[in-house]
Structure 1
Amino acid sequence: MLEFRPGERLLACTFSFISGFVDSIGFLYLGGVFLSFMSGNTTRSATAIVEGNWPLATLAGSCIVLFLIGVVTGAVINRWAARRWDVFRAREAVLFSVSAIFLITSILTVVGVDDVAILTLSVGIGATNSIFERKGEVAIPLTYMTGTLVKMGQRFADTFFGGRHIQWVYHFILWASLSVGAIAGAVTYHKLGLHSVTIITAVVILATVVNQILRARRRKRGLPL
């Protein structure tokens, strides 16, 4: 996180919040299946197979496949945009594609196709993993926090040997953003049901637009992207 600018770190925390929000909605709507936490879905599908609960195994497996489709979609768009324009346009292209997927999900919710809408969310969340991509690898994880917690613990241990506290604090903030998003998603879902998807879609679009405006200003001033 330290090698990224403050604005980029804020964007990462925003989408970590979004990931937590969406995962809570999916978990509550699907009855214990995740939209972004694929380790959990893998365990759910495995135990369901052993127990002979094929509907649960199919549901959890479907979310894994859809999430993977989203990851591939985001990665393809990232690489296409980098070749078509430049590497600095890739993030913007991914953000616009994620916004489009979330907008489609909201429309499906409005017209009442809830089961399709909730699964489409998993595609959108999968695609967000290419927002912070460097040399084909995820630079900042937005949808899974195990690695983030490990790094936080390691950097905290480093402080006993002369390390800087800020190095583990940034990882904590990223994890906290997902946690707050999960709480907000659960509260909103209990109040609005699946219509809470429209609220998080608005957040995604707003983040995309603000990012575009700020990057356009930096380009105009000749600042690094």
Structure 2
Amino acid sequence: MTRARRRRIIRVQRTGTGLALVAAISFIAGMTDAIGLRLSGDFVSFMTGNTTRAAISLADGDLHHGLVLLGAVLVFVLGNAAGIVVAHLVQRRMFGVLAGVAMLLSLASMLQDPDLHLLRFYMVVLSMGMVNATIEHIEGLPIGLTYVTGALSRFGRGIGRFIMGERKMDWTIQAVPWLGMISGALCGSVLGLALPGDALFIAAVLTLFVALSTLLMRRTLHHRYNQRIARATGTK
């Protein structure tokens, strides 16, 4: 086997593994977003929607709801930041991030008291921000896990380039997070309706299962799907 062929095989394996993880994590994100929407009436990962709804609430004079949604946007951003920190502090990056997400969802599932519903909402939002640090790209192509607007936009632009004669087909992978999200949301909608008290815990268990499955992967792959941190270097 030539070196070039070996490299192609390894790249195909890396891509396949990454796409399987994207599908699984997007499924969890869609499930959790649907469960969160049923439990709270607001999105836990769709911050574009929360931003628009916050603006409408503020314009309508509903200051409390508007501030709650703006708080959710802030918590989501902090969750993304926390995910990056965790991903770069542990050896098994994907396991570390997903285990943290599973822990947050488990804790949120225990907050059944109506007085703690806002805290539960923010904990779920934090977990959905954090999960985005699991996979940031596949072979240099950006991937979104908890939101699919960007993926659909890249997919549509890929169709346009294909029509104009470009034959690179890497844009087709952008369909994976959307398919994972919609299938997860369907399951989450059913769970949120049938088992509202246990739905978040089920999502936590599924997240932990995916986290444990990443331990079967080579350690190098845990670093392969994250962007490198560019550290400032001083000059003498």
TM-score (norm. length: structure 1): 0.81
Q: What residue number does 1:41 align with?
A: 50
Contact kept, 8 Å, 2:106 with 2:200, in 1: the verdict is no
Contact kept, 8 Å, 1:106 with 1:197, in 2: the verdict is yes
Aligned residue identity for 1:91: M
* Counterpart mapping for 1:23-38 below 5 A: 23-31=33-41, 33-38=42-47
Deviation, 1:164, is: 4.8
Higher mean C-alpha displacement, 100-109 vs 170-179? 100-109
Deviation, 1:143, is: 0.9
1:115-162 C-alpha deviation (Å, 9 max, x unpaired): 43232111111001110136xx99421011111001111222233314
Alignment partner of 1:9 is 2:19: yes
Match of 2:206 among 203, 207, 218: 203
* Distance of aligned partners of 1:6 and 1:70 in 2 relative to their CA distance in 1, 3 Å threshold: same
Contact kept, 8 Å, 1:114 with 1:194, in 2: the verdict is no
Alignment partner of 1:100 is 2:100: no
* Counterpart mapping for 1:51-70 below 5 A: 51-70=60-79
Query: 2: distance between equivalents of 1:76 and 1:107?
Result: 26
Q: What residue number does 2:167 align with?
A: 163
Contact kept, 8 Å, 1:13 with 1:177, in 2: the verdict is yes
Contact kept, 8 Å, 1:37 with 1:143, in 2: the verdict is yes
1:57-96 C-alpha deviation (Å, 9 max, x unpaired): 1221221122122112111112323xxx5xxx33332222
Contact kept, 8 Å, 1:49 with 1:57, in 2: the verdict is yes
Query: 2: distance between equivalents of 1:153 and 1:18?
Result: 24
Query: 1: distance between equivalents of 2:141 and 2:131?
Result: 10
Aligned residue identity for 1:178: M
Aligned residue identity for 1:5: T
Aligned residue identity for 1:100: M
Aligned residue identity for 2:88: R
User: Which structure 1 residue ranges, 5 or more long, are not aligned?
Assistant: none
* Distance of aligned partners of 1:90 and 1:109 in 2 relative to their CA distance in 1, 3 Å threshold: same
* Distance of aligned partners of 1:68 and 1:138 in 2 relative to their CA distance in 1, 3 Å threshold: farther
Match of 1:150 among 133, 148, 153: 153
Deviation, 1:3, is: 9.1
Contact kept, 8 Å, 2:94 with 2:211, in 1: the verdict is no
TM-score (norm. length: structure 2): 0.78
Query: 2: distance between equivalents of 1:129 and 1:121?
Result: 13
SS of 1:193 mapped into structure 2:
coil
Deviation, 1:41, is: 0.7
Q: What residue number does 2:86 align with?
A: 77
Contact kept, 8 Å, 2:19 with 2:176, in 1: the verdict is no
| Coordinate RMSD, CA, aligned | 3.0
SS of 1:21 mapped into structure 2:
helix
Query: 2: distance between equivalents of 1:52 and 1:102?
Result: 32
Alignment partner of 1:173 is 2:183: no
Query: 1: distance between equivalents of 2:76 and 2:116?
Result: 19
